[in-house]
Structure 1
């Protein structure tokens, strides 16, 4: 037996190779952060598709790994100092993998601080606000007659896009060099297309952002990671 095979989640999502990192995710903007990162750093891993229904994310097996019942989560049998690691929260996983690999988190303490700053910008701003925009513009909230929720999140999305557009002036990546901040941010910017909201937020009015999305999506690791694990 091993750390992975002993964990309750292995009963629902059995590992074929328990000696490598196990990823439990679904290809949402949050889920693909980790698969893209793993592809970028070249770390061997095994991906398990965890559906978004309560039957999966609220199952006892998944809750044993993430009590917050959200994807993604990982089991790493080869953690620091030889100790295994179980981890949830996409931002925390990105930082962990960056520090484990020594990649995509800056070369100096000052650079690392900048990368984490923009990672937190995505985690605390773009992700939650764009998610609410999707709810009120495309999903169940679109049926609400009161226009104020939609207007709030449309306006906030525009504000955040302007912040990103200004930060990208004269540079290719959000914190200088390509980093985990880009891996966190760009999939959420791309989600505007999935929400059918590119026109309502005026995405074309932010040329640095549109070029940034295209630049990110062209990376081979991104193209593979965006479809890992593959949708059913």
Structure 2
């Protein structure tokens, strides 16, 4: 999205166009994860509706909070997640998922609603927060958490995208080019993650979290 805004694309058009490309990337990686059997379909059937509701509300509230304030809040939250992940050596290294119960289902629904809302009106860091949430709430390792994250992320992206499309806020010429690049990158990334497992995903998770922090700080200051 910052690239789009840097070349003069208006903010709402940039968000909608970015959602198009992000949705394409999510479809690509979600397909790879689904084929690998790493996705909990029964759980996601219960969480997806809350993600959709959150996304719709998020898009409707897209103008209610300034981007500068959001940048600061997200930087702080991602730093906390990254530091906690770094010092917790065994976090997400083993798949300790046992079963869905009333307590973790409620927490998962709340997570899906909040992150759907967040992704609907802002977005950066959604995958990071969802992955961390799946690990902490359900005991998944990074591989299974990442796989399930892609489905919820795809849901929120497509829901938001449809609303932006209805309002004419997608530049399809730019979106298609970006989408093709993201499809290839996401497909290869998911393939490597499935092959290498959680030990490789954790360092990448930390690097991407720090990259996101740097990007958001830069956006805020420039």
Superposed pair shares fold, TM > 0.5: no
Query: Hey, which of these two has a bigger chunk of strand by percent?
Result: 1
Question: Whose RCO is larger (CA < 8 A, sep 6+)?
Answer: 2
Report the TM-score when normalising by structure 2: 0.26
> Structure 1-normalised TM-score?
0.25
The structure number with the bigger radius of gyration is: 1
